[in-house]
Structure 1
């Protein structure tokens, strides 16, 4: 399955799910997780939120959608 990852305001990636290394899958499950997909595009789950159909999904959940949106989290600082 191919997955389209739209990093809002930046780039769009087309990823072949079968080629994604599965570092964070649950035992007995060979499907990549959303965290695995983020790693493929050099993003950390701590920096972003992953949305499927406009709703956030846990990064440790296996990928079940062929299109997802990634929003970078904005961190404020002292002025």
Structure 2
């Protein structure tokens, strides 16, 4: 299956996933770590250990910051 992955504020890519691939596998396919992002399907977050069940996702990078 091909999945359109939009990394919010960056770019959009087409990724090929297998039947048993999870959202964590999809995150790694776009060179990100599951620890630094949230995956959204239809605007709602999905667990990274769930099998990919859609053809379009948004990946939101979590931003950490503050005053130094």
Q: What's the TM-score once normalised by structure 2's chain length?
A: 0.92
Q: More strand by proportion, 1 or 2?
A: 2
Q: Larger Cα Rg: Structure 1 or Structure 2?
A: 1
* In 2: Cα distance, 1:75 partner to 1:43 partner: 15
Q: How many residues align?
A: 68
* In 2: Cα distance, 1:61 partner to 1:77 partner: 32
Q: What's the TM-score once normalised by structure 1's chain length?
A: 0.80
Q: Which has the higher contact order (CA 8 A, sep 6+)?
A: 2
| Segments of 4+ moved more than 3 angstroms | none
* In 2: Cα distance, 1:9 partner to 1:47 partner: 15
